[in-house]
């Protein structure tokens, strides 16, 4: 596989053709699986023992995969994309989009996501766990 610079891959897995997966720069994925072949040919293999259906996967720059995504054979994901947790990605995902679902569909643009995220954000990145606990307990209370 090809992995660009500044990538964060946590418990990521690849099927039997990892050399067909290209990840751009600044890609983050947790518990994501990249599947480059269609195992469904199993049910017709007795009639066609020689066939495989294999396709490359291309992921652009600055892409975030939420927890537990599945990327299917032939998927092409553009630049500046957020993929929601648990999504199944097939086909082509355009640049600057937020997608989610099974199959993943465009939900909004990254610009719309940015506006919403800024409206509900807190300035706690880089704080210690204890500092965050005090801050968030004060805001949300204890449950």
46 is catalytic: no
Q: Which of 41, 5, 47, 42 is nearest to 26 (CA)?
A: 5
- Contact predicate 1/14, CB 8 Å: yes
Q: Yes or no: say if 21 and 41 are a contact pair by the CB < 8 Å rule.
A: no
**CA-based max dimension of the chain:** 65
26, 37, 48, 58: the catalytic one is: 48
**Cα gap 107→4, rounded to integer Å:** 26
As annotated, the active-site residues are: 48
């Amino acid at each position: 596989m090809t992995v660009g610079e500044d990538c964060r891959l946590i418990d990521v897995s690849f099927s039997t053709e990892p050399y067909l997966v290209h990840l751009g720069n600044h890609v983050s994925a947790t518990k994501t699986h990249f599947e480059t072949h269609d195992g469904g040919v199993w049910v017709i293999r007795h009639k066609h023992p020689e066939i495989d259906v294999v396709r490359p996967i291309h992921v652009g720059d600055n892409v975030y995969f939420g927890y537990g995504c599945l990327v299917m054979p032939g998927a092409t994901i553009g630049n500046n994309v957020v993929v929601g947790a648990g999504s199944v990605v097939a086909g082509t995902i355009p640049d600057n989009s937020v997608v989610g679902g099974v199959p993943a569909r465009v939900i909004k643009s990254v610009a719309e996501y940015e506006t919403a995220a800024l409206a509900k954000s807190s300035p706690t990145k880089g704080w210690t766990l204890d500092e965050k606990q005090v801050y968030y307990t004060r805001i949300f209370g204890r449950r």
